[in-house]
Amino acid sequence: MGTCDTHFFLSLMHIFIPCLLCIMAKVEALNVTISGFYVFGDSTVDPGNNNYIKTPFKSNFPPYGLDFSNQVPTGRFTNGKLATDYIVSYTGLKKELLPPYLDPSLTNVEELMTGVSFASAGSGFDPLTPTITNVISIEKQLEYFRECKKRMEDAMGKQRIEDHVKKAAYFISAGTNDFVLNYFSLPVRRKSYTLQAYQNFLIQRITDFIQNLLAEGGRKIVVAGIPPMGCLPLMITMNSPDALFQRDCIEKYSSIARDYNLLLQQELRKMQLHLINSSASNAKIYYVDIYKPIADMIQSRDRFGFEDVDSGCCGSGLIEASILCNKISDVCVDPSKYVFWDSIHPTQKAYHNVFLASISTIDFIINN
């Protein structure tokens, strides 16, 4: 490069670099229009709260966390990140992983303000569901949020936290355990409720929870549907006529999930309409579909780079989850070739795909 060329190149860089920095700053500023990210639900969004309670339903041991640095198990029911970890990182809240609220090392108020998860693996909307594995109920999770608010108010002042809470986003993901661990497995609810009545019962519990969250000041509330339950490896094992060789999704249970998701969407739309003339008229309630992204990965495995879609990476992949998936379990060579990590929970790659499928909704929530 000649002297003139060098001078020209340096002049261009003097113009280009400040402009690039300006653009980057604008992109980040666009992304930080939510003040925090708070999560409620079950194992799909629990980053390790169950580590700190007395329950057999834990995952803070190998091979869980296999794809984290140093292969550290965090209490997430997968080999790495959850979808909510990808979401919080994407929002620009300067957080790579969403921490569990019950972690005793979580003493920094700034950590609380950018977001935490109150979720508990094994929980559900039905009050009976969390009692099955002695985990944290949805109601208790809301109590923890109130406690979290108080901690922030004590440090930052009530007015600031009121504004903060209104600008935060809230994510709710539960419901699968209510069917898989409860209604389909135990006789108690089936004696009292038809399937349709039980679905309506769960949806009423969800609307009650949302109303309580609105009363606490929440204004951006996201509710996830449930996955194709008949495609969970455990459900195939329990319901297939030949669990070893006939491992197609059990349509009966996946169709129940579709029906439930439709009912949920209808109810959320109704709630949104009723909010127009309420004190929370500026609140928005969003639905996030996780059924289709998971069904797509299973039905179009080659397109997503998966080889196994009907068993988990851990152990036999047919029944193992939680304590049955442990340090003496065989583990597949490459978890990224599997949709499921254990017999119930997706792999990190599958969670990342769910996140990618939801980006347009996430963008809309962040930027409105």
- The residues annotated with a catalytic role in the active site are 43, 342, 345
Estimate the crossing angle of helix 291-299 against helix 348-357, to 10 degrees.
120
* Cα-based torsion angle of the residue sequence 321, 327, 333, 339 in order, rounded to the nearest 10 degrees: 20
Cis peptide before 104, with omega less than 30 degrees from 0?
no
| DSSP string covering 63-92 | TTTTTSGGG---S-SSSS--HHHHHHHHTT
158-184 b/e with 16+ CB inside 10 Å = b? Answer: eeebeebbeebbbbbbbbbbbbbbbbb
Q: How far apart are CA 271 and CA 112, in angstroms?
A: 29
HEC sequence for 300-330? CHHHHCCCEEEEECECCCCCCCHHHCCCCCC
* 39 φ, ψ (degrees, to nearest 5): -125, 140
Q: How far apart are CA 175 and CA 183, in angstroms?
A: 11
* 133 φ, ψ (degrees, to nearest 5): -115, 10
Other Cβ atoms less than 10 A from the Cβ of 216: the count is: 14
Residue 240 has which token pair?
């297939």
